[in-house]
Amino acid sequence: MARWHPDACRDHPELCKEMAQRINRAYEVVLSYCENYEYPFGEEEHKREKKRTYERWWRERFGDDPLWGGTNKRREG
């Protein structure tokens, strides 16, 4: 960002402004993705996941999916 920051880039101010905006938008997209990711990677989540069986993990994510679930009904377990 330092290279494209409008205060530091005086030769091409419009280009620098555009690039800084694009970088900021990309940062917002990545940050939003990380904050809203469906499967967190925190320590507590990891501890809970270790206790789950593979089959239960699979059913929770793909249980009713016609391609990956293997069944049309979601099983409780």
In tens, the pLDDT along 1-39 reads 888 888 888 889 999 999 999 999 999 999 998 888 877
Residue 16's nearest CA partner among 29, 26, 7, 25 is 7
CA atoms within 13 A on the CB side of 34: 7
Residue 48: pLDDT band by 50, 70, 90 thresholds? Answer: confident
DSSP state of 12: S
Q: What is the pLDDT of residue 65?
A: 76
| Torsions phi, psi for 17 (to 5 deg) | -65, -45
